[in-house]
Amino acid sequence: MLRNSSRKLTSRLFSSSALRMTAAPLDASKVKISRVGTPSKPRPNDELVFGSTFADHMLTVEWTKEKGWDVPEIKPYGNLSLDPSCAVFHYGFELFEGLKAYKTPDNQVTMFRPDMNMKRLNKSAARICLPTVEPEELIKLMGKLIEQDKHLVPEGRGYSLYVRPTMIGTTAALGVSAPDKALLYVITSPVGPYYKTGFKAVRLEATDYATRAWPGGVGDKKLGANYAPCALPHQQAAKRGYQQNLWLFGPEKNITEVGTMNVFFVFKDAATGKQELVTAPLDGTILEGVTRDSILALAHEKLNSNDWIISERYYTITEVAERAAKGELIEAFGSGTAAVVSPIKEIGWKGTDIHVPLQPGKQTGPLTEQVAQWIADIQYGKEKHGNWSRTVA
């Protein structure tokens, strides 16, 4: 049922995005660059806080329904000036992406699978009637933006430049309809490792009083609409001593996501000894995480299929609780661009805590640690994996 309706929607989306392709396409070769007078000095690595200080330059491109994409501009980072009636302030016409750029030992800057983010950005845009972009042009523009601030891309494993493409509807009128004006912009922030002193496993509270996403909704898209409603369940969980909340869905209480990340569990069948890496299937309620996709691909490549089953399937908090009781729950971790993986050590559910094993003396399970290593090796240029790592500056 779900898959059918989601397929139907997709075909509608394609026709809608195709229609929007007649005006001027996004064209990186037209970019105008005006640089800051005095470039900033890089901050020491240990002073970097996620997403709170920004590099010197930003990219902006205006779009109108009539003319399409205007000339891209790279200019000093600064405030946006917008009419208070703009669609973005009232009706949630906004989407974003999150990627990271890495400094390699030979002073190049690479990005990790940016084509995946561009694909998702276009799906998000089409779903809320914002314009789509030419993926390779926006990748080139991000490269040119990063080039201006190349000295601010931090060096060292765990450090990177977080890149935030954003698109907002800027039509200045209060009627609710598809915006006829939009602004695409990209800002960047030098960031350090999510866990400064190695992994720190988190405690989750399972949330059944609020629902993150639903069939026929927009939970698989990276829209602003999906985030503000998460703040209260997060705050409520934090008050009770949990760092994040675990999202459940439906009467069966399927496990879907953790906070704003995808989530994976590892079970071990007591009878056969076989392990299973499980995550929820992409049924329209799950964000199509690039890290999620990368973990699944690497697991298929690297884990021995005699010992491992890799599943995208529905599974419930009840299954997790039951298998924990039987000693069959082995590991659990969130996955996303910011932290790559985030180990889980406890899950509060119905007044008790389900314990998730960690390695002795460590804040992570063995597969979680391995997965983090696999991905970092590709991101920081130690391993090559097809064209996952792309030189952009």
- Window 109-138: residues binding a copy of itself (CB under 8 A): 126-129
Residue entry with tokens 């000036």: 81
Task: Please say whether the beta carbons of 135 and 22 come within 8 A.
Answer: no
Q: Closest approach of Cβ 272 to a copy of itself, in Å?
A: 37
Site residues for a copy of itself, 287-346, by CB under 8 A, read none
CA 40 vs. chain centroid, Å, equals 28
Q: Does 173 bind a copy of itself (CB under 8 A)?
A: yes
Residue from 2, 23, 174, 325 that binds a copy of itself (CB under 8 A)? Answer: 174
**CA 7 to CA 10: how far, in whole Å?**
5
Which CB sits closer to a copy of itself, 275 or 342?
A: 342
Beta bridge mates, 61: 184
Q: Report long-range pairs for 243-246 (Cβ below 8 Å, ≥24 apart).
A: 243/202, 243/203, 243/204, 244/202, 244/203, 244/204, 244/205, 244/334, 245/204, 245/205, 245/206, 245/207, 246/204, 246/205, 246/206, 246/207, 246/317, 246/347
Q: Does 349 bind a copy of itself (CB under 8 A)?
A: no
Residue from 3, 12, 274, 313 that binds a copy of itself (CB under 8 A)? Answer: 12
Q: Closest approach of Cβ 319 to a copy of itself, in Å?
A: 21
Site residues for a copy of itself, 67-106, by CB under 8 A, read 77, 79-85, 87-94, 96
Residue from 18, 23, 232, 270 that binds a copy of itself (CB under 8 A)? Answer: 232
Q: Closest approach of Cβ 15 to a copy of itself, in Å?
A: 9
Site residues for a copy of itself, 237-276, by CB under 8 A, read 259-260
Task: Please say whether the beta carbons of 356 and 327 come within 8 A.
Answer: no
Which CB sits closer to a copy of itself, 336 or 365?
A: 336
CA distances in angstroms from 380 to 46, 76, 111, listed in the order given: 19, 28, 10
3 state DSSP class of 204:
strand
Q: Closest approach of Cβ 35 to a copy of itself, in Å?
A: 18
Q: Does 16 bind a copy of itself (CB under 8 A)?
A: yes
